Amino acid sequence: MDRMACGLLAAWLFAGSAMGAGDACTPSPKVLNNFVTELVCCKDVASGQTIRFANPREGWIYVGVQSEDGVTGSFVDPEKARQETLVFRPYEATKTVEAMKYLPVGEYAIRVAGNGGGTLESVVVRAIPEIFYDAYLGATQLHACNDAARDWEFLGKYVNPHVNTMVAKGLHKDGAHAKNKPSEEILKEWVRRGKHWVDEVSLDADAKTADDAYAHFVAAFGLPDPNCHGYLLDEFRTAPEREEIDRINLEALARMATSPEFAGKKLYCYVGTPIRNCPNYGRVSKFVVDHHFLLAREWYLMDRPSYRMDATGKEDLWACFAPHWHERNRKQWNEYAEGAANAVVMTLGGRNLPDSSLDVDPELDSNVLLDWQLSFLATHPLFGNAPGINVWTTSYMDEEMIRWMCRLFRHYCIEGRRDVLTADPYVLPHVTNADFEQGTEGWDVKMAGADTIRAETLKDYGKIEGRYQTPKGDHFLVMKRSKDGPNVVSQTVKHLTPGRLYTFRMYTGNYGDLKTGRSKGQKHAVSISLSGATVIPGREIHRAYYSRNSKSYTPFVETGELCRLNYHWVLFRADGPTATLKVSDWADAERPGGAIGQELVFNFFQVQPYFECEASGKR
């Protein structure tokens, strides 16, 4: 930039109403939680006034403006003598217009003007974490559960306001591999708003040399691409047999990081738990620190009773989430490379769909668990100055979980809140013996014939269903379909809030498939009724899916097939404090709908509150 341009920029920066002692602003940065530091909070700001702030770390800045008129804004970097337009987007829930921008450490200024020229109600500037959405157009078996999340309009309402880094898979792929590639229009619009695209890329597991891996990354990264800001690498492991292949990949990535074509790009490395004397994790830690990249640390917690209330009726969240274990992990990262612990983006698990669901216990609310985890990360001293947050992956989340996850991002990572978002209990009080671990206790059983309903147990059936790494789910009911009438189990659903939305979910399987190792993807003839509640029209899902976990179960090992099961989901509104749930192995009261003599397996009878309104702020 020439001298005249620099002079004009300086005049812009220091013109207008300077921020002085009389301005209604916070005098210094205020740490709201581990994710968010408020840098500026101004009330009754004159339109066009210059607001200066210091960005304490390299990362994302959030600007929020409340004004009755439309708003325009500009951002200036005095050190680089450049000025850019801030692209604001309205967030209706708080009547705020917002912008986000990635900035290095340094001194900056913004000028925001109301279109009507009047006083702005407030201007807030915050340092916030990198907030990932992983991933746009992610593949899924159960499209009916989350197809809306493939719609950019849906994301514009429920996702995009709450995130700043969008992960895509196949960002640079063409031809037959382009099905998960965002459109050019969407790519450019996201970048225009100041936000980032990150492409998820696999390590080269077949590379024999660093040259092989380098060629793999050159092809996969699609360099140079102005719409892509970085790459999420899947993944580095601690297994000894992976040491050499990880070393080869890291050598190639180190060459990439110093390539002129790679300038301005960032790498995020998926990793697990750090362990002592793990050479590949030592190398990846040093690589990340040396190049100012980030580690994406996987921390996938499934539902389990150990998170339930203690004897006093309180949840000791910090004890539940093992802070001493995290402290050891952070120490180990720093032993590998000084500062590595501060380069860790915690990657939680939000998966509530098979065949990789963390929602493994139908008597526990996985939405509450995700809230608790984010609360822990936002408030525990171990995680101060957290650089980012990720939740893996939308491929295994239904539309409700996607909306809930993003509302939690807003609560903890933009608003900087320290309180938990939901007051709902973790232990669901609605259905007793929901997984049939006590046989038929608590259920009213009406058999169509002699012994046409029985309780059974099969080791690892829960894993076959797609519950993640758990012994839960090995108990179930078997119903043998009779020509004489339906088999029915029923129970009173309790502790409902009249007028509130809930979901009922369950899994079904074919018992014969489990014995033969042969399976067809057929829809099971079952019926679900909820008297005393209103089932929402058009909001039922009954879909077949396959389980990759079944390939290690003996009958399916022998046949080479995968087990096919069914996932069922019903949305209903409570008419009163109770309702009667009935589940049958007939399609309806008049028609069997399936083969007589077929034995169906039933379990995971879950009733859970539904997150209805993103704007309400509460479940």
* Digit-coded pLDDT (tens) for 357-385: 999 999 999 999 999 999 999 999 999 98
Q: What is the CA radius of gyration of the chain?
A: 27
H or E segment to which residue 221 belongs: helix 210-221
Pick the closest to residue 162 from 201, 195, 199 (CA basis).
Answer: 195
In the 3-class helix/strand/coil scheme, how is 117-153 assigned residue by residue? CCCEEEEEEEEECEEEEEEECCCCCCHHHHHHHHCHH
* Averaged pLDDT, 202-216: 97
Contact by Cβ (8 Å): 597, 481: yes
Q: Higher model confidence: residue 424 or residue 13?
A: 424
Helix pair angle (210-221, 243-257), 10° resolution? 60
Residue 53 structure tokens: 């702030």
The size of the chain, in residues, is 619
Q: Output the pLDDT for position 244.
A: 97
How many C-alpha atoms does 294 have within 13 Å on its Cβ side?
26
* Digit-coded pLDDT (tens) for 410-445: 999 999 999 999 999 999 999 999 999 999 999 999
Task: Give per-residue burial for 310-339: e unless 16+ CB within 10 Å, then b.
Answer: eeeeebebbebbebeebeebbebbbebbee
Q: Output the pLDDT for position 315.
A: 62
- Residue 408's SS3 state is helix
What is the rounded distance in angstroms from the CA atom of residue 560 to the CA atom of residue 142?
23
* Averaged pLDDT, 565-594: 98
> Measured between alpha carbons, how far apart are the two ends of the chain, in Å?
52
Q: Output the pLDDT for position 170.
A: 81
Q: Output the pLDDT for position 312.
A: 56
Pick the closest to residue 63 from 198, 153, 194 (CA basis).
Answer: 194
Choice among 25-29, 324-328, 398-402, 414-418 with the minimum mean pLDDT: 25-29
Residue 261 structure tokens: 């074509």
Choice among 62-71, 208-217, 291-300, 538-547 with the minimum mean pLDDT: 62-71
Q: Output the pLDDT for position 118.
A: 86
* Digit-coded pLDDT (tens) for 174-204: 655 567 789 999 999 999 999 999 999 999 9
DSSP state of 179: G
What is the rounded distance in angstroms from the CA atom of residue 44 to the CA atom of residue 46?
7
Contact by Cβ (8 Å): 483, 592: yes
What is the rounded distance in angstroms from the CA atom of residue 138 to the CA atom of residue 120?
40
* Averaged pLDDT, 607-617: 74
Confidence of residue 618 (pLDDT cuts 50, 70, 90): very low
Contact by Cβ (8 Å): 351, 468: yes
Q: Output the pLDDT for position 306.
A: 67
Name the amino acid, one letter, at 612: E
H or E segment to which residue 109 belongs: strand 106-114
* Digit-coded pLDDT (tens) for 496-509: 999 999 999 999 99
CA distances in angstroms from 247 to 203, 289, 325, listed in the order given: 11, 16, 27
pLDDT over 50 (residue 392): yes
What is the rounded distance in angstroms from the CA atom of residue 181 to the CA atom of residue 199?
10
Pick the closest to residue 295 from 248, 346, 231 (CA basis).
Answer: 346
What is the rounded distance in angstroms from the CA atom of residue 65 to the CA atom of residue 119?
11
Residue 529 structure tokens: 């009724």
Q: Output the pLDDT for position 12.
A: 39
User: pTM for the full model?
Assistant: 0.94
Q: Output the pLDDT for position 15.
A: 42
What is the rounded distance in angstroms from the CA atom of residue 159 to the CA atom of residue 513?
40
Confidence of residue 69 (pLDDT cuts 50, 70, 90): confident
pLDDT over 80 (residue 100): yes
How many C-alpha atoms does 322 have within 13 Å on its Cβ side?
8
What residue spans of 380-535 are helical by DSSP H?
399-409, 461-465, 511-516
* Averaged pLDDT, 47-55: 92
Measured on CA atoms in the order 202, 205, 210, 216, is the torsion positive or negative? negative
pLDDT over 60 (residue 19): no
* Averaged pLDDT, 559-580: 98
Confidence of residue 26 (pLDDT cuts 50, 70, 90): low
Q: Output the pLDDT for position 175.
A: 55
* Digit-coded pLDDT (tens) for 265-276: 999 999 999 999
Residue 492 structure tokens: 């009173």
Instruction: State what percent of residues in the chain have pLDDT above 70.
Output: 92
pLDDT over 70 (residue 492): yes
DSSP state of 495: S
Pick the closest to residue 612 from 336, 458, 423, 404 (CA basis).
Answer: 404
Q: Output the pLDDT for position 263.
A: 94
Q: Output the pLDDT for position 615.
A: 42
Residue 319 structure tokens: 């004890």
* Digit-coded pLDDT (tens) for 219-260: 999 899 999 999 999 999 999 999 999 999 999 999 999 999
Most confident option among 48-52, 276-280, 412-416: 412-416
Measured on CA atoms in the order 159, 161, 162, 168, is the torsion positive or negative? positive
590 CB-near residues (< 8 Å, 6+ apart): none
Confidence of residue 78 (pLDDT cuts 50, 70, 90): confident
DSSP sequence for 527-581? EEEEETEEEEEEEEEEEEEEEGGGGGSHHHHHH---EEEEEEEEEEEESSS-EEE
Residue 271 burial class via C-beta count within 10 angstroms: exposed 0-12, middle 13-18, buried 19 and up: buried
pLDDT over 60 (residue 13): no
* Digit-coded pLDDT (tens) for 302-334: 988 766 655 555 567 778 899 999 999 999 999
Q: Output the pLDDT for position 149.
A: 85
What is the rounded distance in angstroms from the CA atom of residue 577 to the CA atom of residue 494?
6
